[in-house]
């Protein structure tokens, strides 16, 4: 995957509002033990959830139908308002060919 493909992935999960753009993707990387697998960590504090429309766009960009959601994680924040919490989900895309730029 080229940096253009990487930017398309970021665009799928980017959210606008409150006077700015917020990145919904924390990281994109290849899995060392399976180079055909791309791991995308999504910030659920930004995008709220990953829906079929997100996965469908990923499928088209990466030319794969083998996509799996895994590793929902939540680290609590303030007990009353949840400020400072972190919520993520990992998206695994398998059978992906080509190069990917892992830096922004």
Q: What is the pTM of this model?
A: 0.82
DSSP 33: T
CA distance 15 to 5: 18
Per residue in 41-58, pLDDT (tens digit) is: 999 988 888 999 999 999
Distance CA 66, CA 88 (A): 20
Say how far apart CA 73 and CA 26 lie, in whole Å.
Answer: 13
Residue owning tokens 């993520």: 88
Phi, psi of 5 (to 5 degrees): -65, -40
pLDDT in tens, 24-36: 998 999 888 998 9
């Amino acid at each position: 995957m080229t940096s253009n493909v990487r930017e398309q992935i970021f665009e799928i999960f980017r959210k606008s509002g409150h006077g700015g753009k917020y990145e919904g993707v924390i990281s994109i990387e290849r899995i060392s033990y399976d180079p055909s697998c791309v791991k995308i960590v999504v910030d659920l504090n930004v995008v709220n959830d990953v829906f079929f429309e997100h996965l469908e766009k990923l499928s088209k960009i990466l030319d794969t139908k083998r996509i799996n959601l895994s590793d929902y994680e939540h680290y609590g924040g303030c007990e009353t308002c949840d400020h400072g919490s972190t919520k993520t989900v990992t998206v695994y895309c398998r059978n992906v060919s080509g190069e990917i730029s892992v830096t922004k």
